[in-house]
Chain A
């Protein structure tokens, strides 16, 4: 039986309204996506929803008190709290460059720095 699910793609702020037709637990069609990411999003949202996780981590000896970080790839929604708990425990030393790995291998990805902090 066909089931129609409406969702809004969150991959970019264009926020395409998607009309997803599901037949026998698999996606038959996705309408309304302005780009292929919308179709990917619909598939992922129905099978294994994932999200980026972001926070800030304390920095010692920098020109800013914290460095912002994000998971390199989106992680499964169930992993969000595991990532946050690890981030709450750590501190790093300046300098930090955008792209530096802050924690390696969490939930199948790395946590990377997204802000430059110069040493002072």
Chain B
């Protein structure tokens, strides 16, 4: 058994973790990055489509190009990392001492650190979570699995595809299937609006004449050895299938694209407070969880639309770790609670101290046009032509604006109001 000591242990070698490791090193901390796969990079390694890095690098890159740039930077800073390293558990010893138990091919390592940055990404929702019943034959994949098969291994999982759910990964894969010569019979979405970004509806479905069936659901998968068909029905306003509207779509493959959930198992065991609306931990503007010195970034914090945001969160968490290490804890005494106002489904961070510029990430509950996103307590508002649940709203509030808030106020409210 090996005992190690660092300023911060970063768990997860995807974009948020790599960005946190780079930033922590630049700020003079001594970090170690722990990754359970046999290479660093995470999910962008299989994202071969463009649309990455427009904010962060001000260039339109593919996921693979984006992550290569970050990896090169990490390499040039000689950041320490462990591969094929599985974090078994995290122990809170005291305010500025945590223990991360890691199982590696070199043996068990016990890593002591003042802070932890948890950047383990998300998992895909699977078929059992969305209530699809019927047979369980070959040919059922999540969108991410299909992406790994096609874009890492070069294997086409099927010829006639039905995609359940219209999340972004599913839409991206619909285009990849179409480009590689498979027929995408339909994308089936239970809600009245698509789950993915509008740009993906256009360039992935409309461009390839792939039908999008809104307010429909797959009620049953049928197949003996391999998927043979799905039974689809219309749903009512309570999302329940309407009797008599069933029809069949013959296909050999079902791809489930039902969204992502933050991967926070170890944090839950540690007892962090979880926000049911994000599925991730409750955090302050340093992205520190309810457990002092434990930070979270990327899709483990909140499901992001853009890798740029995951990277930004990694950097904010590293800045938080720096403040924590330098001060032996967070100096803030007075946290204000961020309230979800009209048409806001989720917001991060959930607590604000107001001592630094704050980046707010929010999602709306319902699509709406010509609106202001506002914080009445700060007389702050921003116009949007259209807001959609699939598109995260991100904005920064300067410290100078946050200063305007009444000292006695215990909350600020984020809300959407029609113009």
Q: A15-B391, A54-B48, A70-B50 are in contact. Are A10 and B60 (CB under 8 A)?
A: no
Least CB distance from B312 to A in Å reads 14
Question: What are the residues of chain B within 8 A of A19 when measuring CB–CB?
Answer: 385
A69–B49 alpha-carbon span in the complex (Å)? 9
- Partner among B60, B150, B199 whose Cβ is within 8 Å of the Cβ of A8: B199
User: When the two chains form their complex, are residues B50 and A54 in contact, meaning their CB atoms are under 8 A apart?
Assistant: yes
Count A-B contacts at CB 8 Å: 86
Q: A8-B198, A17-B386, A68-B64 are in contact. Are A115 and B48 (CB under 8 A)?
A: yes
B318 at the binding interface (Cβ < 8 Å)? no
Question: What are the residues of chain B within 8 A of A114 when measuring CB–CB?
Answer: 48, 62, 64-65
A21 at the binding interface (Cβ < 8 Å)? no
A15–B391 alpha-carbon span in the complex (Å)? 8
Q: A13-B305, A15-B197, A80-B179 are in contact. Are A56 and B51 (CB under 8 A)?
A: no
B132 at the binding interface (Cβ < 8 Å)? no
A residues contacting the other copy or chain, number (CB 8 A)? 33
A68–B180 alpha-carbon span in the complex (Å)? 13
Q: A114-B62, A114-B64 are in contact. Are A12 and B51 (CB under 8 A)?
A: yes
Interface residues on B, range: 20 to 34
Question: What are the residues of chain B within 8 A of A56 when measuring CB–CB?
Answer: 48, 150-151, 154
Question: What are the residues of chain A within 8 A of B151 when measuring CB–CB?
Answer: 56, 66, 68
A27 at the binding interface (Cβ < 8 Å)? no
User: When the two chains form their complex, are residues A68 and B385 in contact, meaning their CB atoms are under 8 A apart?
Assistant: no
Least CB distance from A115 to B in Å reads 4
Q: A8-B199, A17-B386 are in contact. Are A55 and B179 (CB under 8 A)?
A: yes
A16 at the binding interface (Cβ < 8 Å)? yes
Main secondary structure of the interface of B (DSSP, over half): mixed
Question: What are the residues of chain B within 8 A of A65 when measuring CB–CB?
Answer: 152-154
B207 at the binding interface (Cβ < 8 Å)? yes
User: When the two chains form their complex, are residues A16 and B385 in contact, meaning their CB atoms are under 8 A apart?
Assistant: yes
A25–B48 alpha-carbon span in the complex (Å)? 36
A20–B386 alpha-carbon span in the complex (Å)? 15
A55–B150 alpha-carbon span in the complex (Å)? 9
User: When the two chains form their complex, are residues A13 and B48 in contact, meaning their CB atoms are under 8 A apart?
Assistant: no
A19–B48 alpha-carbon span in the complex (Å)? 30
Closest B residue by C-beta to A19? B385
Question: What are the residues of chain B within 8 A of A9 when measuring CB–CB?
Answer: 199
A98 at the binding interface (Cβ < 8 Å)? yes
Closest A residue by C-beta to B61? A114
B290 at the binding interface (Cβ < 8 Å)? no
B45 at the binding interface (Cβ < 8 Å)? yes
Question: What are the residues of chain B within 8 A of A64 when measuring CB–CB?
Answer: 152
B68 at the binding interface (Cβ < 8 Å)? yes
Closest A residue by C-beta to B67? A115
A77–B198 alpha-carbon span in the complex (Å)? 19
User: When the two chains form their complex, are residues B306 and A13 in contact, meaning their CB atoms are under 8 A apart?
Assistant: yes
Question: What are the residues of chain A within 8 A of B334 when measuring CB–CB?
Answer: none
Least CB distance from A113 to B in Å reads 9
User: When the two chains form their complex, are residues B48 and A52 in contact, meaning their CB atoms are under 8 A apart?
Assistant: no
Residues 1-15 of A, flagged 1 when their CB comes within 8 A of B and 0 if not, give 000000111111111
User: When the two chains form their complex, are residues B153 and A66 in contact, meaning their CB atoms are under 8 A apart?
Assistant: yes
Q: Which of B282-325 contact A (CB under 8 A)?
A: 305-306
Closest A residue by C-beta to B394? A14
B202 at the binding interface (Cβ < 8 Å)? yes
User: When the two chains form their complex, are residues B51 and A55 in contact, meaning their CB atoms are under 8 A apart?
Assistant: no
Question: What are the residues of chain A within 8 A of B68 when measuring CB–CB?
Answer: 98, 115-116
Closest A residue by C-beta to B66? A114
Further contacts, 16 of them, CB under 8 A, given A66-B151, A84-B180: A10-B202, A13-B306, A14-B54, A17-B198, A19-B385, A52-B49, A54-B50, A56-B150, A56-B151, A66-B152, A68-B151, A70-B62, A98-B68, A114-B64, A114-B65, A115-B45
Some 16 contacts from A to B, beta carbons below 8 A apart, are A12-B54, A15-B198, A15-B199, A17-B386, A19-B385, A51-B203, A53-B179, A64-B152, A66-B154, A68-B151, A69-B48, A70-B48, A114-B48, A114-B65, A115-B65, A116-B68
Closest 3 CB pairs of A and B: A68-B48, A10-B199, A115-B64
